[in-house]
């Protein structure tokens, strides 16, 4: 997929407004001295930075509003031999000396061309390095453009950020992602079922770089590209696991038996190499799809029959509770925090229908009402000595004292 990395503005997907703004700035000769490209990883930030560099110095740019990719100025950037383009990694060149060396090269002429400096992972620069960069951005030289690329915009110091033109990148949409993957397949002369491309989209979470890498992996398989084989190859759960869990919930069985069957299926899934993170990822997708079906936001004709039959298994309040829990558990599992255990606890709560916020609120209000009634019926003044004994008891517990069996509290 590296050979298909976009080289022109028209080839970049999912960032329409951002691409248009950068292209118009070049056409109108209003390119700012510094850009801040920010957004999720793998969405085209450094790719657009390179296209911008080509376009600024392309000998044929104004003909099609795209770099030609064929003139010497364009090909030198591709070969990493251009004296007018420098890309550095802010994570490994983050110190004051690294940035100082970069700044020292700014005054040198590049033969009448723009000089473009791309600092990837810019948020990793040290405070001292940012201070050195700031001095240059305060009085930017002519025909020099800095492009700061980051996934964490909030970590860029305000004095730096305020001197940059901000360009926001967003996760690539499903339609744009599938179109891009289909284009790559047509160029390599391969065919992959659309259902498998959708699996890639789910796993990549809008990251085009991850999606193309996954496609490369899948193309290493032979011609047998069945969904089950791809699920095993990539280590992800199929919809079947969630359909089976939903069927268990609907079954006329004791809760303990449902939980036992569900846990057995879940543990078998993990033994096949599916990670808890992937389980939560696909569970979110599954139950969000069910919620969408419930509200008529999804096309039931494109869903599995077992999925459609589960629509009314949960109330709106339960869907809310399920999805909130999945988001939290997904984040914890990415940090390696007891992922298997979290998945089992989620399944137990799901099977016993423990996500009903509506029911919990009703039960709480009933309990509160009963409690208030008991207090009104049995209110009696409490003897001061009793209060004193209870306070002493609580203090001893908080201080870690051991209470012997023959001690009593009134």
Can you tell me the distance from the alpha carbon of 48 to that of 167, in angstroms, rounded to the nearest whole number?
A: 11
Tokens coding 134: 């700031």
Q: What mean pLDDT is predicted for residues 360-370? A: 49
Most confident of 154-168, 204-218, 223-237, 312-326: 154-168
Contact status, residue 245 vs residue 265, Cβ threshold 8 Å? yes
Model pLDDT, residue 385: 52
Q: Name the pLDDT band for 373 (thresholds 50, 70, 90).
A: low
Contact status, residue 181 vs residue 200, Cβ threshold 8 Å? yes
Q: At residue 337, what are phi and psi to the nearest 5 degrees?
A: -90, 85
List strand residue ranges (DSSP E) for 165-305, in order: 165-168
Q: Name the pLDDT band for 113 (thresholds 50, 70, 90).
A: confident
Tokens coding 302: 């494109």
Examine the pLDDT at 299 and tell me if it is beyond 90.
no
Residue 124's SS3 state is helix
Examine the pLDDT at 108 and tell me if it is beyond 80.
no
Can you tell me the distance from the alpha carbon of 351 to that of 355, in angstroms, rounded to the nearest whole number?
A: 10
Examine the pLDDT at 198 and tell me if it is beyond 70.
yes
Q: What mean pLDDT is predicted for residues 62-73? A: 87
pLDDT, one tens digit per residue, over 70-101 is: 999 999 988 888 888 999 999 888 888 888 98
Contact status, residue 37 vs residue 45, Cβ threshold 8 Å? yes
- Assign domain 15-168 to a CATH class: alpha beta
Of residues 132 and 406, the one with the higher pLDDT is 132
Sheet holding 85-89, edge to edge: 85-89, 115-120, 144-150, 34-38, 165-168
Model pLDDT, residue 1: 56
Give the residue carrying structure tokens 């329409």: 16
Examine the pLDDT at 357 and tell me if it is beyond 90.
no
Specify the fold of 174-234: Helicase, Ruva Protein; domain 3 (1.10.8)
Can you tell me the distance from the alpha carbon of 45 to that of 254, in angstroms, rounded to the nearest whole number?
A: 53
Q: Does 239-352 match 15-168 at the fold level?
A: no
Model pLDDT, residue 394: 47
Model pLDDT, residue 19: 96
Of residues 358 and 226, the one with the higher pLDDT is 226
Model pLDDT, residue 161: 96
Can you tell me the distance from the alpha carbon of 31 to that of 145, in angstroms, rounded to the nearest whole number?
A: 8
pLDDT, one tens digit per residue, over 242-291 is: 989 999 999 989 999 999 999 999 999 999 999 999 999 999 999 998 99
Model pLDDT, residue 229: 82
Examine the pLDDT at 171 and tell me if it is beyond 80.
yes
Query: CA distances (Å), 360 to each of 53, 314, 317, 364, 372, in order?
Result: 58, 14, 10, 6, 18
Contact status, residue 111 vs residue 57, Cβ threshold 8 Å? no
H-run or E-run covering 118:
strand 115-120
The domain segmentation of the chain, as residue ranges, is: 15-168, 174-234, 239-352
Model pLDDT, residue 404: 42
Q: For the chain, what is the largest distance between any 2 Cα atoms, rounded to a whole number of angstroms?
A: 96
Which residues, 6+ apart, have CB-to-CB distance to 336 below 8 Å? none
Q: What mean pLDDT is predicted for residues 156-172? A: 95
Contact status, residue 119 vs residue 109, Cβ threshold 8 Å? no
Q: At residue 86, what are phi and psi to the nearest 5 degrees?
A: -135, 125
Specify the fold of 239-352: Zinc Finger, Delta Prime; domain 3 (1.20.272)
Examine the pLDDT at 16 and tell me if it is beyond 60.
yes
Model pLDDT, residue 408: 45
Q: Name the pLDDT band for 177 (thresholds 50, 70, 90).
A: very high
Other residues' Cβ atoms within 10 Å of the Cβ of residue 17: 10
Can you tell me the distance from the alpha carbon of 118 to that of 87, in angstroms, rounded to the nearest whole number?
A: 5
Examine the pLDDT at 207 and tell me if it is beyond 70.
yes
């Amino acid at each position: 997929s590296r050979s298909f990395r976009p080289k022109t503005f028209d080839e970049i997907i999912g960032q329409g407004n951002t691409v248009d703004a950068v292209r118009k700035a070049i056409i109108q000769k209003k390119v700012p001295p510094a850009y801040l490209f920010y957004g999720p990883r793998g969405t085209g930030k450094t790719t657009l930075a390179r296209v911008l560099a080509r376009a600024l110095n392309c000998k044929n740019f104004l003909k099609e509003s795209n770099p030609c990719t064929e003139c010497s100025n364009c090909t030198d950037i591709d070969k990493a031999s251009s004296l007018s383009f420098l890309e550095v990694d802010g994570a490994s060149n983050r110190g004051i000396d690294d940035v100082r060396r970069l700044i020292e090269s700014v005054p040198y002429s590049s033969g009448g061309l723009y000089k473009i400096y791309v600092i990837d992972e810019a948020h990793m620069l040290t405070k001292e390095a940012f201070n050195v960069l700031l001095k240059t951005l305060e009085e930017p030289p002519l025909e020099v453009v800095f492009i700061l690329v980051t996934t964490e915009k909030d970590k860029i110091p305000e004095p730096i950020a305020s001197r940059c033109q901000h360009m926001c990148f967003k996760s690539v949409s499903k339609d744009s992602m599938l179109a891009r993957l289909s284009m790559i397949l047509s160029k390599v002369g391969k065919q992959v079922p659309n259902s498998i491309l959708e699996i890639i989209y789910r796993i990549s979470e809008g990251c085009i770089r991850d999606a193309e890498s996954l496609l490369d992996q899948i193309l290493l398989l032979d011609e047998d590209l069945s969904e089950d084989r791809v699920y095993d190859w990539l280590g992800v759960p199929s919809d079947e696991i969630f359909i089976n869990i939903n069927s268990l919930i609907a079954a006329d069985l004791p809760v303990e038996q449902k939980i036992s069957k569900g846990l057995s299926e879940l543990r078998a899934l993990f033994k096949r190499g599916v990670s808890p993170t992937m389980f939560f990822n696909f569970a979110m997708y599954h139950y969000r799809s069910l919620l969408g079906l419930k509200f008529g936001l999804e096309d039931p004709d494109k869903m599995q029959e077992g999925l459609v039959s589960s629509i009314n298994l949960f109330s709106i309040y339960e869907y809310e509770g399920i999805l909130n829990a999945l988001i939290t558990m997904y984040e914890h599992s990415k940090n390696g925090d007891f992922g298997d255990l979290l998945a089992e606890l989620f399944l137990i709560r799901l099977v016993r229908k423990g996500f009903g916020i509506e029911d919990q609120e009703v039960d709480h209000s009933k309990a509160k009402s009963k409690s208030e009634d008991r207090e009104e019926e049995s209110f009696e003044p409490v003897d001061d000595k009793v209060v004193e004994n209870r306070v002493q008891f609580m203090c001893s517990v908080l201080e870690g004292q051991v209470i012997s069996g023959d001690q009593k509290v009134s």
